[in-house]
Chain A
Amino acid sequence: MRLHYAWGLVAAAVVATGAYVQGGQGRGAQSTTGALARTADGKPNLNGMWQVLNSANWDLEAHSAEDGIPGGLSVVEGGTIPYLPAALAKRNENRAQRKTADPLSKCYIPGVPRVTYVPYPFQIIQTPKYIAVSYEFAHTQRIIYVDGSPHVEALDFWMGDSRGRWENDTLVVDSTDFNDQTWLDNAGNFHSDKLHVVERITPIDATHLNYEVTLEDPQTFSRPWKISMPIYKRLEPNLQVIDYDCVSYFWRRTIKSDSTR
């Protein structure tokens, strides 16, 4: 499968964005820029190893600890996710089967934003036009286009299609083109293929980022809603992505448990 959108359209968008970027060197309202490293093009330097340290991967909402599941506060603004009634019933059904039904238990690509808060680090590689993220979990890969190009149309991906832009010191990433296969956490919180995600990544200081995400999905939620959490820089010298090769472990498990062979 290979699609190329009209190059003329992309060129026009790049020109427009170029003008925007020229004027975008101001200070973010909430960011502390004093100790912040910057790239050659003047943007906050996000290169390095990062990780979220909370229990959002198990449940975005407030929850008690259970066997193998750390308890935690809600990361949802207002505390609970505004489901439509039918969707809430589906979430509760998912939750009852979480041990086997969580797509992560099958080593599937986690989707966005969950890939950010699975309990594994990730590495950001930042260039002016492309910001790539290499995740330890299942060697998931993400390329955020910061070149002014538009979303691809009428396709669906596990990770969606991500287009970013800088608003002062905040990296704003708009993602669409999702499938309906991923969960938002291990507690069965889910979405449809109408999901639209806007992530806002703002440096707090040199070693902390604020991660705020707006999720919109009129088939699943009664209104757009937000989660937020800090992302922490991993400071160990020479730390690098050490693949959690989930599919390999899946095969070992599956071949071993197969009695017909």
Chain B
Amino acid sequence: MTRFSASTAAVVIACALATAGTAAQKQPAAEGKAGTSAYKPARTPDGQPNISGMWEPGPGRPFENPRGGPWKPPAGATGANGAAFTFFAPGDQLPGGRSTEKGPMVFDPPDGIIPLQPWAVAKRDEIIAHQDKVEYLDPRVRCLQSGVPRANLPVFYNSYQILQIPGAVVILYEWNHMTRVIPLDGRPHLPASIKLANGDSRGHWEGDTLVVDVTNFNEEVWPVGSGAPPEGAPAAALTSGHGIVQSDQLHVVERYWMTDADTIRYEARLEDPKVYTRPWSFRFDAFKRGQPNHQLFEYACHEGNRKNIQLLTGVDIEK
């Protein structure tokens, strides 16, 4: 089973969202801010706010505002593998349904545009223009790890299980069998010489909010990117966060808090002095409660990728 076609076809992001710019100017309600929820979660036996359970992707909406104007797909085009171009148009299917929140997930800066340094804008243009070349290809399509915070953005074929033990919160991701063990015991980060695709996570509870500090990133994966961009769309039109590189200076601070019994709201602040002109933040309802008998199924991404590897590199992995 190949996941290449699924990941490119299933989730196509908005490029013709003419109203995004104005909608983004609305300020989010106070309820949406980290730690402001009136909801009091139950406690685990060791006293942590209980966020354990089966979770599914939260409702989707544009991740960012496009830095260029809206892009009109060529006449007759149907998008990647037949999927619709306008991912956020009425009727389009989204992994977790459609969010009623207005504007993009990026709320700081208030224009909703990721504050890339000029070289990173140029690099993004280059990457998105060459998605047919393996050297530029979305790391997720090559079955590399999702990265952080990208792992929490809505995508098809993902669900989550959160386990809590004394001293740690553990997030198990269905997508490409990613596991994050987040120690809560105050231990220091790994030495800076150790680099990881998903970074090194250290957490603590601030009231009912789980705060996770993530460092020690390598440069192999992308920090954000929701779904898959439509074929042919220029980087300046994207609202999905695709094509942004990360440096080993990336520093992510995540916040997870429950706003009701079935919702974990999520906020992340990204700082990377080699890529951004300033830190920036996004938030959305990342996890929606799954059925109690839900289970994560094995996602054998690389194992099913033989045909695509052959197509992209000429190498048959089985020979």
The interface of chain A, by Cβ under 8 A from chain B, is 1-5, 7, 10, 40, 47, 106-109, 123, 125-127, 130, 132, 134, 139-141, 143, 145, 149, 152, 155, 157-159, 181, 238, 240-243, 245, 247-248, 250-251, 254-255, 257-258, 260-261
Q: Contact at B142–A240, with CB atoms within 8 Å?
A: no
A254 touches B293 (CB 8 A): no
- Residue in A140, A145, A158, A245 whose CB lies within 8 Å of B220: A245
CB–CB A258/B313 < 8 A: yes
Q: Is B83 an interface residue (CB 8 A)?
A: no
Pair A247/B291 contact, Cβ less than 8 Å: no
Evaluate whether A2 and B297 lie within 8 angstroms (CB atoms) in the complex, with A158-B303, A181-B303, A243-B145 already known.
yes
Q: Nearest residue in B to A260 (C-beta to C-beta)?
A: B314
Query: Interface majority SS on A: helix, strand, loop or mixed?
Result: loop
B302 within 8 A of A: yes
B178 to chain A, nearest CB (A): 6
Neighbour of B163 across the interface among A127, A159, A238, A247, CB < 8 A: A127
Contact A7 B161 (CB under 8 A): no
Q: Is the CB of B298 within 8 A of A242?
A: no
Stretch among B8-16, B106-114, B164-172 lining the A interface: B164-172
Contact B298 A158 (CB under 8 A): yes
Q: Which of the residues A143, A254, A255, A261 comes within 8 Å of B295, measured between beta carbons?
A: A143
Known: A125-B181, A240-B181. Is A109-B303 also a contact (CB below 8 A)?
yes
The answer to the question of B18 belonging to the interface, with a C-beta cut-off of 8 Å to chain A, is: no
Pairwise interchain contact B142-A247, C-beta atoms closer than 8 A: yes
**Interface residue count for B (Cβ, 8 Å)?**
48
* Chain B residues with CB below 8 A from A250, complex form: 302
Residue contact B164 to A248, C-beta cutoff 8 Å = no
Q: Which residues of B contact A134 (CB under 8 A)?
A: 170, 179, 181
Q: How distant is the Cα of A242 from the Cα of B46 in the complex, in angstroms?
A: 27
List, in ascending order, chain A residues with CB within 8 A of B317's CB: 106, 254
Chain B residues with CB under 8 Å of chain A are: 45-46, 52, 133-135, 142-145, 161, 163-165, 168, 170, 172, 176-179, 181, 183, 187-188, 190, 194, 196-198, 220, 291-298, 300, 302-303, 309, 313-315, 317-318
* A241, B46: Cα distance in complex, Å: 24
In whole angstroms, what is the CA distance A250 to B312 when docked? 14
Q: With a CB–CB cut-off of 8 A, which chain B residues contact A140?
A: 177
The smallest C-beta distance from B155 to any residue of chain A, in angstroms, reads 14
Residue A157 contacts which of B142, B178, B187, B298 (CB distance < 8 angstroms)?
B298
B61 to nearest A CB, angstroms? 23
In the complex, 24 of the A-B residue pairs with CB atoms within 8 angstroms, ordered by the A residue number, are A1-B297, A3-B297, A7-B293, A10-B293, A106-B317, A109-B303, A125-B165, A125-B168, A125-B181, A132-B172, A134-B181, A139-B145, A141-B177, A143-B295, A158-B298, A181-B303, A242-B196, A243-B197, A245-B145, A247-B142, A248-B197, A248-B220, A250-B302, A261-B135
Check A125 against B313 for contact (C-beta < 8 Å).
no
Contacts of B183 in A (CB 8 A): 240
Measured CB to CB, the nearest residue on chain A to B315 is A254
Contact A125 B145 (CB under 8 A): no
CA A2 – CA B45 in complex, angstroms? 31
- Complex CA gap A164/B172 in Å reads 18
- Chain B neighbourhood of A157, CB < 8 A: 297-298, 300
How far is it, in angstroms, between the C-alpha of A145 and the C-alpha of B308 when the chains are bound? 34
Residue of A nearest to B176 (CB): A139
A132 to B174, CA, bound (A): 13
Cβ of B197: which chain A residues have Cβ within 8 Å of it?
A: 243, 245, 248
Cβ-defined contact, B164 with A143, below 8 A: no
Is B302 a contact partner of A107 (Cβ separation < 8 A)?
yes
Closest-CB distance, A93 to chain B (whole angstroms): 15
Closest Cβ of chain B to A172, distance in Å, is 20
Choose from B164, B176, B313 the contact partner of A254 (Cβ within 8 Å): B313
* Given A134-B179, A258-B314, residue A125 in contact with residue B302 (CB < 8 A): no
A251 touches B165 (CB 8 A): no
How distant is A180 from chain B, measured CB to nearest CB, in Å?
13
Closest to A127 in B: B163
Question: Which B residues are in CB contact (< 8 Å) with A258?
Answer: 313-315
Pick the contact of B293: A4, A126, A132, A238 (CB < 8 A).
A4
Q: Is B298 within 8 A of A159, CB to CB?
A: yes
B313 A261 Cβ-Cβ under 8 A: yes
